[in-house]
């Protein structure tokens, strides 16, 4: 069923226009707003309380489904949650607008779109490398979390990522705890995603880089993905060309999503996962 859930969610994400109310961030933001109204997210919030905030929603959802114990409801809810967690039409549309502006030679508009997509002016990564990271957050990470931890993992990861962003923006005292938790939780999915780049890109070029970063706990997850992706995909572009690099790396990320689905299919057929 894991494979079926993923295929249905990916298919729905591609063919159905996703309104704001069908995006996981919409509900997570409402959850964070509720925590604010209840004065739970104060500057002095404890680490324990902050951890409970991202762990409890997924547990409540899973417990509720177990109590209802109706197969059809469980199936529909699982597909819907995955559909909400996977992909982001707003980011995809912004990226398309970036390409259109680049084709017109409108560099100022391109810079504005890169900032809308979250790439800071002084980031050490390129725009294409940043898109690799966004693809991981919106596709690879939810898929891997679902395969390993089920529906609970998808919800908990989404809450953790949102609360981490909130804690950084509001400089909460317990921010370091969430940063460490996210770093630990992302460690294995990042390596799995980067390994996929080897198999769908230039294996011999990227393998040494992947091995070198395999047990590296100090390098940020964003840079791990960026370095392996660049090694796995030869990007040749002229000075002033701002479309070749991002489009090439986006294609690499898309192939990697298919690779993850293929691995899930093999694990399902071999009976390792249900």
Report how far residue 40's alpha carbon sits from residue 35's, in angstroms, rounded to the nearest whole number: 5
DSSP-derived 3-state class of residue 235: coil
Residue 136 DSSP class = I
List all residues 6 or more positions away from 203 whose beta carbon is below 8 Å from its beta carbon: 232
What is residue 237's predicted lDDT score, i.e. its pLDDT?
A: 67
What is residue 122's predicted lDDT score, i.e. its pLDDT?
A: 66
Among the residues of 38-70, which ranges form H helices? Answer: 47-68
**Buried (b) or exposed (e) across 242-264, using 16+ Cβ within 10 A?**
bbebbbbbbebbeebbebbeebb
Q: Kindly report the average pLDDT of the chain as a whole number.
A: 89
Q: Could you tell me the residue ranges of all domains in the chain?
A: 2-269
What would the pLDDT profile of 129-185 be if each residue is shown by its tens digit? Answer: 899 999 999 999 999 999 999 999 999 999 999 999 999 888 888 888 999 999 999
């Amino acid at each position: 069923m894991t494979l079926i859930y993923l295929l249905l969610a990916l298919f729905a994400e591609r063919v159905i226009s996703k309104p704001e109310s069908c995006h996981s961030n919409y509900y997570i933001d409402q959850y964070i707003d509720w925590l604010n109204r209840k004065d739970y997210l104060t500057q002095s919030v404890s680490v324990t309380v902050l951890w409970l905030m991202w762990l409890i929603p997924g547990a409540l959802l899973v417990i509720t489904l177990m109590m209802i114990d109706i197969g059809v409801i469980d199936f529909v809810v699982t597909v819907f949650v995955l559909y909400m967690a996977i992909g982001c039409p707003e980011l995809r549309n912004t990226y398309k607008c970036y390409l259109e502006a680049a084709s017109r030679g409108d560099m100022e508009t391109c810079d504005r779109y890169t900032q809308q997509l979250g790439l800071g002016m002084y980031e050490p990564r390129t725009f294409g490398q940043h898109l690799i990271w966004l693809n991981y957050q919106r596709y690879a990470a939810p898929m891997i979390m679902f395969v390993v931890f089920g529906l609970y993992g998808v919800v908990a990861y989404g809450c953790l990522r949102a609360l981490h962003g909130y804690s950084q923006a509001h400089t909460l005292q317990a921010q370091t705890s969430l940063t460490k938790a996210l770093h630990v939780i992302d460690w294995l999915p990042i390596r799995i995603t980067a390994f996929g780049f080897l198999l769908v890109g230039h294996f011999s070029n990227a393998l040494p880089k992947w091995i070198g970063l395999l047990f590296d706990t100090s390098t940020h997850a964003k840079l791990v993905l960026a370095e392996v992706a660049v090694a796995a995909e030869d990007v040749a572009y002229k000075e002033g060309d701002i479309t070749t690099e991002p489009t090439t790396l986006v294609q690499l990320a898309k192939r990697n999503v298919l690779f993850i689905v293929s691995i899930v299919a093999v694990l399902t057929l071999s009976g390792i996962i249900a």
